[in-house]
Amino acid sequence: MEQLTVAMAKGRTATKAMKLFEQAGIYFSSLQDDSRKLVLTDDSGQVKLIFVKAVDVPTYVEKGAADIGIIGKDVLLEDPKDVYEMVDLRISACKLVVAGFPGPYPNTQLTVASKYPHVAKTFFTNKGIRTDVITLNGSVELAPLIGMADVIVDIVETGKTLKENGLVVLEEIADSSARLIVNKASFAIKTAVIQQLIGSVKEGMGVST
Ligand code: PRP
C-alpha cells in the first residue's frame, strides 16, 4: 500500500481525529500526550501524520506536502484552497458568528475585529454595510470591551467566552466542524488507498459510505 501523509494541528481536534482514526483501525501507539514530535507513523507504517499550525493545514494539502488534512470549516471559509473537501468529520462543531453587546449594531459603517477578516468583510459587504476590519490573532472578545470595534466575527463553541465578557451572538454566519480535505493530484494518483481510508473513517463514524 502507498503511504499517505495526513496533516493536522495538535490540540482538541487532533485528539478527536485520532479517535476517529482508531475507530477506522488506524493506530498511533507511539503517540504520547506530552510529545513534541511533529511526525508520527501509524502502527502499520502506512499513514504518516504531520503536525502543523491549524491555519497552515490547507496549504500543506494544496501544495501536496500532505495528501490529506484535517481542518475546521472556519479555516477553509476564511482562506479557500484548491483541495477536495470530502468528509464532514462532525467533530469540533462551532459556529462563525457576529457578536457584540446586546442590541442593534450600526448598519451603515462598522468597525469589526476578527481572526476571520475575509469572512467578516464578505458577510457585511453582502448586507450592504461598509466595514473597517481589524485583523486580530486572538482574544478578539476584548475589542468591543475596550471600544476598538463595534462587533466581532469569531467562532463560538460553548458560548462561555462571550458570556463571561458580557457579549452575545447577534447573527449566525455559518456552521463549522472539522473536515477531511484531500490534495487533488493525490486523489487522482492514490484514489484507491484514499477512498479506502475515507471509507474506514466513515464506517468508524457510523456513516454509510
Ligand atoms: C476561540 C474563539 C473564542 C473561543 C470560543 O478562541 O476565538 O474566543 O474559542 O469558545 P467558547 O464559545 O467555548 O468560549 P481560542 O480558544 O482559540 O483562543 P484565542 O482567543 O487565543 O484565539
C-alpha–C-alpha distance, residues 52 and 27, integer Å = 20
Q: Could you tell me if 122 and 145 lie in one domain?
A: yes
The crossing angle, in degrees rounded to 10, of helices 12-23 and 191-205 is 100
Q: Which atom of ligand 1 is nearest to the CA of 137?
A: 22
- Mean of pLDDT values over 179-184: 98
Q: Could you tell me if 42 and 119 lie in one domain?
A: no
What is the greatest pairwise CA distance in the chain? Answer: 58
- Mean of pLDDT values over 146-152: 98
The answer, yes or no, to whether residue 7 has pLDDT greater than 70, is yes
Q: Could you tell me if 87 and 181 lie in one domain?
A: yes
Q: Which atom of ligand 1 is nearest to the CA of 157?
A: 12
Confidence of residue 65 (pLDDT cuts 50, 70, 90): very high
pLDDT digits (tens, 9 = 90+) for 86-140: 999 999 999 999 999 999 988 889 999 999 999 999 999 999 999 999 999 999 9
Indicate whether this model's pTM tops 0.85.
yes
- CATH label of the domain that carries residue 144: 3.40.190.10
C-alpha–C-alpha distance, residues 143 and 111, integer Å = 10
Domain of residue 68 covers 4-92+177-205
Ligand 1 centre distance from Cα of residue 150 (Å): 18
Grid cell listed for 145 = 470591551
Per-residue pLDDT, 208: 66
- 115 DSSP assignment: S
Looking at the chain, the number of H-run helices and the number of E-run strands are: 8, 11
C-alpha–C-alpha distance, residues 15 and 111, integer Å = 36
Ligand 1 centre distance from Cα of residue 161 (Å): 7
Q: Is 166 left (phi over 0), alpha (psi -120 to 50) or beta?
A: left
Ligand 1 centre distance from Cα of residue 91 (Å): 16
Ligand 1 centre distance from Cα of residue 13 (Å): 14
Q: Which atom of ligand 1 is nearest to the CA of 163?
A: 14
Continuous segment of H or E residues that includes residue 38: none
